[in-house]
Amino acid sequence: MQDSVCHYGPLWPQIAAEKPTIVVVVTHPQTCLVLPGRLRALGRAGFRVILVASPGELLEKTAEQAGVERVAIPMERGMAPLADLVSLIRLIWLLLRVHPDVLECSTPKAGLLGLLAGFVCRVPRRVYVLRGLRLETVQGGFRRILLAAERAAAASAHAVLCNSQSLRARALALGVAPDRKLHLLGEGSSNGVDVNRFSPGPSAVRAALHLPDAAPVVGFVGRLTRDKGLPELLDAFEEMLRTTPEARLLLVGWFDASEDALDEAMRARILGHPRIHVTGYVKATAPYYRAMQVMVLPTWREGFPNAVLEAAATGIPVVTTWATGSRDSVVPEVTGVLIPPGEPEAIRAAVVALLRDVERRERMGRAARAWVCEHYPEERVQALAVAYYRGLVAPKRVKATVAALQEVS
């Protein structure tokens, strides 16, 4: 294979002259941020790849960056029966025109509508990529609706690929799908990490943000929302300043207008704080990790957090929670610290302990990078996904490929 996706490429044979088609559907173009590597790997492996999402600049840029086709179909993230019906009809029409060999859907709304459309159109191989469970942070009737939607999406799929072991276990416990449908590729993660780009080294971020060289910087990377634990992080940081007044909190992310968005009072509290720096959306985050001593992700739910793996690859220890998905991203007391979700004091204590113990922090950082480089390099994670889909479209020719890749590290 002359243009292999990575150094795992030679493990699978050259694809036949006629390219199999895979349609990849997500709800919001924001999700496209984690897709370029996967799309590019599938394209280089010989698939015709069509990316489908709601209209937006990120959809256009992702398709161009990955070298794949794209189709814009508006899809609402929240409940919108009439709009959902229109989206479903448009998805059915697309699938009837394209006749894909494989349909991959992820995120709740795209999973439900896309896989229902795939079921109606009898797409021969339908895969639901479970990136997390929104229902974990809601209660009452809305939780029941979300659970029913997850079950309907899984029922319309032939297989459910889970991002992490704990997410698979949680989906099984909730009855999202039976055990035979729930799969985990390798050690998890749908994206992996570019360990060359995310690596230890110098950074100009401190100078650019006027952060004192001696100031301990606690970082966060991701959407600024309730489910990511921002209210608890803010409370913990304000308590931390009582004993570590020189500390800074670096929030690398944006205020997301989602169901778990922060209210105006919380936004104002963050933006008006003299020791908190908010960057907004950042495309190239690697230099920001290098400006941190510790990264914190006090999340309530995850699939498998990319930000934790990126920080670890950069040699930064992480404090995160025992929540679904996040617990898989840290080796406790080796690459970072796991704490209960929703406890500001636990965040404060864990962060302060790491800031005060330089030797422990540096030891964890070295172990974190070694762990990520062994299990989660981008090329390995993408190779597992490509091999899985190759097995779906040509099972007799590559029946041993996925098993062989599982043994490679």
Tokens, residue 383: 């190779």
Asked if 199 and 310 count as a contact pair (C-beta separation under 8 A), the reply is no
Q: Phi and psi for 286 in degrees, rounded to 5?
A: -55, -45
Rounded to an integer, what distance in angstroms lies between the CA atom of residue 209 and that of residue 346?
28
Label residue 408 by pLDDT band (50, 70, 90): low
Question: Does residue 349 register a pLDDT over 50?
Answer: yes
pLDDT over threshold 80, residue 241: yes
In the chain, the domains with their CATH numbers are 9-191+378-406 (3.40.50.2000), 205-375 (3.40.50.2000)
* The 217-221 sheet, strands edge to edge: 276-278, 248-252, 217-221, 294-297, 318-321, 336-339
pLDDT classification of 191: cutoffs 50, 70, 90: confident
pLDDT of residue 4: 29
Q: Quick check: 14 pLDDT over 50?
A: no
- Check pLDDT > 50 for residue 83: yes
On the CB side of 113, how many CA atoms lie within 13 Å of its CA?
A: 33
Average confidence (pLDDT) over 148-152: 96
**pLDDT, mean of residues 53-69:** 94
- Say if residue 342 is exposed, middle or buried (CB neighbours under 10 Å; 0-12, 13-18, 19+): middle
Predicted pLDDT of residue 12: 36
Please state the rounded mean pLDDT for residues 300-313.
96
pLDDT value of position 170: 97
Out of 8-17, 133-142, 159-168, 198-207, pick the least confident: 8-17
Q: What percentage of residues in the chain have a pLDDT greater than 90? A: 84
Mean pLDDT of the chain: 91
- Per cent of the chain over pLDDT 70 is 92
Residue with token string 């190239």: 284
Question: What's the whole-number mean pLDDT along residues 103-115?
Answer: 95
pLDDT for the residue numbered 319: 98
| pLDDT given at position 5 | 31
Of 214, 188, 120, residue with least CA distance to 328: 188
**The pLDDT of residue 204 is above 90:** yes
The arithmetic mean of pLDDT across residues 357-371, rounded, is 97
Our CA angle for 164, 59, 6, nearest 5°, is 55
In whole angstroms, give the CA distance from residue 48 to residue 308: 32
Per-residue model confidence (pLDDT) at position 103: 98
